[in-house]
Amino acid sequence: MARDELHARFLEIANGLSPDLRVAMERVGPPEPRDRGDQPVAGFLARAVVGQQLSTHAAATIWSRVEAMADGEGIAIPDDLTDEHFDVLRACGVSRGKARALLAIRTAQAEGRLDGASLAALDHAERSRRLRAIHGVGQWTCDMVAIFHCGDADVWPETDVAVQRTFTGLISRRRKPARAAARFSPQRSWLARYMWRITDTEPDGD
């Protein structure tokens, strides 16, 4: 389905749920196509883990420090991390748990468990099961991999606070968010991206 056709479909569905939802989605317009380029899964995971439970600004600030450290040492993140980098990552603002997660992602990559083509060929549930076996990788990160790296069209990130708060605030309080989101299937990933766009344009959005 073309982007403009998808936008028109979403506005029609949104109008049936809540005029506020339709107005908000019409105001921000449809999300732009995403191009992940050739970024390896391990690199995507590393950045996603660093950004977990942080505002967009805070996540970007800490990741920029990690990148600066990596550039200074001439290493790739997470491939070239060693246990000796633990304290260096902490000094960049990475929490203890997330630093351990980055080292676990490095190990998974070295063991061949993060092959992009193999993971993309899996359904979301099986891919999530495999990724969650890596220390520090939770369902939110799996959902981000699905939406932004693998391009899955129908993933609804129920653990994303911004998406859930924004969507719930725009639909009738009598409606269950997951059931309302199901109306947008099989393109719920796009619905999530609308919610992020709306969040980012709010006065207090990050």
Across the chain, mean pLDDT equals: 92
Within 8 A by CB and 6+ apart from 166, the residues are 195, 196, 198, 199, 202
| Overall average pLDDT of the 49-65 stretch | 92
> What is the pLDDT at residue 200?
86
Is the domain of 17 the same as that of 48? no
Among 105, 128, 149, give the residue marking a domain's end. Answer: 149
Tell me the per-residue pLDDT of 121-134, one tens digit each, with 9 for 90 and over. 999 999 999 999 99
Among 115, 134, 149, give the residue marking a domain's end. Answer: 149
Are 21 and 171 in contact, with CB atoms under 8 Å apart?
Answer: yes
Q: Is the pLDDT of residue 205 over 50?
A: no
Cis peptide before 186 (omega within 30 of 0): yes
State how far the Cα of 6 lies from the Cα of 197, in Å rounded to an integer. 16
State how far the Cα of 115 lies from the Cα of 125, in Å rounded to an integer. 17
Question: What is the band of 206 on the pLDDT scale with cuts at 50, 70, 90?
Answer: very low
141 within domain boundaries: yes
Is the domain of 159 the same as that of 143? no
Would the pTM count as exceeding 0.75? yes
Is the domain of 118 the same as that of 52? yes
Q: Is the pLDDT of residue 158 over 70?
A: yes
98 within domain boundaries: yes
Domain at 63, CATH number: 1.10.340.30
> What is the pLDDT at residue 131?
98
Are 127 and 150 in contact, with CB atoms under 8 Å apart?
Answer: yes
52 within domain boundaries: yes
Residue 15 belongs to domain spanning = 3-34+155-201
CA dihedral 65, 67, 69, 71 (to 10 degrees): -150
Is the domain of 168 the same as that of 145? no
| Overall average pLDDT of the 175-200 stretch | 95
Is the domain of 24 the same as that of 76? no
